Structure 1
Amino acid sequence: MILDRVKPLDAILATAEKKSLKRTLGWLQLTLLGIGCVIGTGIFVLTAVGAQKAGPGLMVAFAVAGAVCIVAALCYAEIAAMIPVAGSAYTYSYASIGEFFAWTVGWALIMEYAIAASAVSVGWSGYFSGTILNEFLGIHLPTWLSAGPLAFGGVEGGFINLPAAVIALLVTWLLVIGTSESAKVNAILVAIKVTALTAFIALTLTSGDFSADKFNPFLPAGLFGGWGTGVGALGAAATMFFAYVGFDAVSTAAEETKNPQRNVPIGLVASLLFCTVFYILVAAGAIGTLGGQPIMDAMGFPVEAGSPELARQCAMPEHAEALVCSKEALAHVLRVIGFSGIGNMLGIAAFLALPSVILVLIFGQTRIFFVMSRDGLLPEKLSTVHPKYRTPHVVTMMTGAAVALGAAFFPVGQLADISNAGTLYAFLMVAVAVMVLRVKDPNRQRHFKVPGVWIIAPLTIIGCVLLFFNLPSAAMLFLPGWGILGLFVYFLYSRGHSHLGRGIVEVVDDVAGEELQIPIHPPGE
């Protein structure tokens, strides 16, 4: 039987119970934690991509993506509080719907984290080239060194995005030697990001003329742009979903929260609502000043974001100031309306903050890889720890090389869409796992329970499916293609080497740093 292997939840929780985390966090701390983790990459990097897909309807896209994230976050919170161990949605699936589906989730997460890190690296490259090199140093990096090739959706004359590849490799090196972010440094970066975006909102909302022509038509591609096109308000929502990922930090803090039944939903919903309103105001400010109408093709349809055709159109002089053509959209808006100095400061904020996001994403990918390796589903050589640095250097270097490769040759929009496909699948499976555990293990202690779970969880599934089918066809097809490759790996290697299949459950907890082995009877083949 393919679906017969489910990891015993008691074995997983045995180690987690040794944490004895003190409950100190209230709703305000959780809200601020969520805001700090969510605001950043997407809004700095993808505003131009979203505007090209939805036009002024980008504001609707942010609202739709935020709504899907809120219901997904509630599902995530229940299961994260119930199973507070390493492995994220992969571990949750292993304990509820079994090894086979857990493998598919882990395989998707490996793709999601790595490609998301590539997307952020490309976004950082835009701010590095535009703000640091062009504005401050007067250096104009040639196109062939600062953009991916046209064949992969890059810019005409592009060959390699060297800054993006370099930052990915630099962060990988830092992870190999064991350098981690300081909490104080991270807090400073969060303050810089929020301050920069607040200044952007204040300046654009008071400087823009907000004339009707900048908002009309409001939805140039409609609400639904068409299956597989990735345009329209829902197509943009599927892309801007990238701007909300990070709320799981609130979910995983449920074990340290006072009165989690009350404070966790408040922290999750409040932080996501704040970020949604914040993002809508940023979009309104950008569109009200520069206009957000997309570049259209001969049929009156928005040119595909990240396509060679859009790259050619954006190279034309008449589109030099277009929001949809900028690689550093927010800084670009402020420069065009006469606030070059503040625009440059915003560019510096992104330049400083985005590498920390790359670090977290690569670390997250290696952690999923590491846990799957320790479960025997991937070669145990991958979980080898460096004798000096005590880090999983093999998988970290493999991940870093893949991230650098993606960042070097592909545009940010395509990378974000592919990453979102994996994220949406993982969130969908978390919603399924919550319902399965409610039926299979109703009496298990839950520090937080989703209110109206039989409404919220199905809404999460519907929302994830809706956004998935509004991604561009290439992004939609990438996930099943990657999944088919994963099935070959699972049946040719992983199923036969699985520790659970061999009768041993191995629980690794990244906080306690302990390992617990519990012998069980191997399930029948």
Structure 2
Amino acid sequence: MIFDRIKSLDAILATAESKSLHRSLGAFQLTMLGIGAIIGTGIFVLTAAAAQKAGPGMMFSFVIAGFVCAVAALCYSELASMVPVSGSAYTYTYAVMGELLAWMVGWALILEYAVAASAVCVGWSGYVMGLIQHTTGLGLPEFLSSGPAWGFSGFIPTVDFSHGVVNLPAILVAGAVTWLLVLGTSESASVNAVLVGIKIVALTAFIVLSMPLLKGENFSPLLPTGILGHDGLGVIGAAASIFFAYVGFDAVSTAAEETKNPQRNVPIGLIGSLGICTIFYLLVAAGVVGTVGAQPVRDAAGMVLGPDGIGFANRCAELAREGTAPIVCSKEALAETLRRINFPLIGNLVGLAASIALPSVILMMIYGQTRIFFVMARDGLLPESLSDVHPKYRTPWKMTIFTGIVVAIAAAFFPVGQLADISNSGTLFAFFMVALAVMILRRTDPKRHRPFRTPLVWIIAPIAALGCLGLYLNLPFVAQMVLPVWGAIGLLIYFFYSRSHSHLGRGILEVPELGKDVPQQPVPPID
């Protein structure tokens, strides 16, 4: 049987106690961590891509994505309060649905964190290059500051290098953050609250300056691409992309093993950070739409173009030469909006704030990735050598460097929107599995203590699962296909390596009283 390996919650908690991290984070720190991980490229950069997909209708997209994320957060909160250990959705799935599906969730989380970090690197590059250009008049040539445009002819990928070859700034920031994490995470975590404050100040300044200048006519037509468009367009398609703007709240549950009183603080951190960010997002989106307009760019035939395709890149370049490029073409939408409404200095300061603060999001994504690696290696599903600690810096340097290299390569050659959509495919799968896990655990272990209970669980959890599935099906076709291809690679690794090396499969269970691994039962044959 391939679904016979289920690790009990008691075993998972015992493992965490035997190899636990120092518990030092309270509710406020968790909320700040969540805000720091959530507010990033999603709102600073993807606002333009969302406007290209839905026009002013992206306001509804933010609400839809926020709602799906909220019901998923309620499911996360119940499981995170019950299982306050590292590993996030991977750990929860292991306890409820078994090793194989847990592996698939962990494999999807690897896709989520690495590709999300790459997307933030690209977003950071756009703001830094825009800031340098508007303050000094200098800048890198386009072929060194942007990756190529990608398209598809049927199933065959096509690449256009006319507007960019490699995103050098994105590579540099990925390398710098990786180096910082190798040196030590405690120093990097200590500045997180400051960087969160910078992002909040920047977004608050944008809201305060833009709200008085809203124009009703800029909201018409409200739904230029409809509710359901083609290949990721429309309000729902924009919501599927905007979901990336909320990704990061699960980093709170990933940090559960380092949290004081996790039964109380994890739900507060999850829901608090999500609620604060949702309010900011809606106000910022209204500011962009109401001040400078956000109608999508169309081709010569009047068809709305996808925001990351070759046709869109060519059309934006053409409009830029004419001096009429709309905000949907901008790589720094918030800073550019302020410049267009006669606040150039504040616009540059917002660009500076993004340039300073976005690396903290990259840091959290790579940090979260290494923690997923750590837990999977601890269970024997990945080589335990990946979790080797550097003799001097005491950090998991091998997996950190490997993750940094992958992040840099993806950031160098892919646009931010495509990276965000690919990351979303992994995220939505993980959230879908969490919603299922909550319902299954209510049936299989109803008497277990639940410090936080998902309200109306038989309504909330199905809505979360269906919402995640619906958003996934409205991602662009390429992003949809990445998940099954990535999953197939993961299955090969599982059956050729992980299944035979699994601690659970070999009958090895960590016993904290003894401080070592001991066999609990005869080693079963490998199916």
TM-score (norm. length: structure 1): 0.91
* CA–CA distance in structure 2, aligned partners of residues 258 and 15 of structure 1: 16
5 Å matches for 1:83-162? Answer: 83-131=83-131, 133-151=132-150, 156-162=162-168
5 Å matches for 1:382-421? Answer: 382-421=386-425
C-alpha distance after superposition, 1:136-161 (max 9, x if no partner): 33322101100112346676241100
* CA–CA distance in structure 1, aligned partners of residues 251 and 102 of structure 2: 21
Q: 1:321 offset after TM fit, Å?
A: 3.9
Please say if residues 81 and 266 of structure 2, whose CA atoms lie closer than 8 Å, have aligned partners that are also in contact: no
Q: Are 2:494 and 1:490 aligned? A: yes
C-alpha distance after superposition, 1:155-181 (max 9, x if no partner): 624110000011101111111222444
Q: 1:33 to 1:362 in 2, by over 3 A?
A: closer
What is residue 196 of structure 1 aligned with on the other side? Answer: 202
What is residue 40 of structure 2 aligned with on the other side? Answer: 40
Please say if residues 33 and 192 of structure 2, whose CA atoms lie closer than 8 Å, have aligned partners that are also in contact: no
Unaligned runs of 5+ in 1: 509-513
What is residue 207 of structure 1 aligned with on the other side? Answer: 213
Please say if residues 65 and 237 of structure 1, whose CA atoms lie closer than 8 Å, have aligned partners that are also in contact: yes
Please say if residues 373 and 383 of structure 1, whose CA atoms lie closer than 8 Å, have aligned partners that are also in contact: yes
Q: 1:14 offset after TM fit, Å?
A: 2.0
5 Å matches for 1:210-221? Answer: 210-212=215-217, 214-221=218-225
Q: 1:369 offset after TM fit, Å?
A: 1.6
What is residue 511 of structure 1 aligned with on the other side? Answer: none
* CA–CA distance in structure 1, aligned partners of residues 304 and 96 of structure 2: 43
C-alpha distance after superposition, 1:97-122 (max 9, x if no partner): 00000110011111110000000000
- Percent identity over paired residues: 60
Q: Are 2:521 and 1:520 aligned? A: yes
Please say if residues 225 and 233 of structure 2, whose CA atoms lie closer than 8 Å, have aligned partners that are also in contact: yes
5 Å matches for 1:158-307? Answer: 158-182=164-188, 184-208=190-214, 210-212=215-217, 214-226=218-230, 229-248=231-250, 251=253, 256=260, 260=264, 268-269=270-271, 271-307=273-309
Q: 1:505 offset after TM fit, Å?
A: 2.5
5 Å matches for 1:10-49? Answer: 10-16=10-16, 34-49=34-49
Q: 1:52 to 1:24 in 2, by over 3 A?
A: closer
Counterpart of 1:161 in structure 2: which amino acid?
A: N
Q: Which moved more, 1:45-54 or 1:295-304?
A: 295-304
Q: 1:165 to 1:320 in 2, by over 3 A?
A: farther
* CA–CA distance in structure 1, aligned partners of residues 110 and 7 of structure 2: 20
* CA–CA distance in structure 2, aligned partners of residues 365 and 233 of structure 1: 30
Q: 1:318 offset after TM fit, Å?
A: 4.0
* CA–CA distance in structure 2, aligned partners of residues 20 and 396 of structure 1: 18
Q: 1:257 offset after TM fit, Å?
A: 5.3
> How many residues are treated as equivalent by the alignment?
512
Q: 1:29 to 1:71 in 2, by over 3 A?
A: same
Q: 1:180 to 1:433 in 2, by over 3 A?
A: same
SS in 2 for 1:234: helix
C-alpha distance after superposition, 1:228-272 (max 9, x if no partner): x11111111111111112223555669645984xx8767654543
Q: Which moved more, 1:376-385 or 1:121-130?
A: 376-385
TM-score (norm. length: structure 2): 0.91
What is residue 154 of structure 2 aligned with on the other side? Answer: none
5 Å matches for 1:442-521? Answer: 442-506=446-510, 519-521=520-522
Unaligned runs of 5+ in 2: 152-158
Q: 422, 428, 431: which is aligned to 2:432?
A: 428
5 Å matches for 1:323-334? Answer: 323-334=327-338
Please say if residues 156 and 311 of structure 1, whose CA atoms lie closer than 8 Å, have aligned partners that are also in contact: no
SS in 1 for 2:357: helix
SS in 1 for 2:165: coil
C-alpha distance after superposition, 1:279-324 (max 9, x if no partner): 1111111111111000023453320111111111111234644111
Counterpart of 1:60 in structure 2: which amino acid?
A: F
* CA–CA distance in structure 2, aligned partners of residues 425 and 455 of structure 1: 19
SS in 2 for 1:315: helix
Q: 1:85 offset after TM fit, Å?
A: 1.1
Q: 1:274 to 1:177 in 2, by over 3 A?
A: closer
Please say if residues 81 and 263 of structure 2, whose CA atoms lie closer than 8 Å, have aligned partners that are also in contact: no
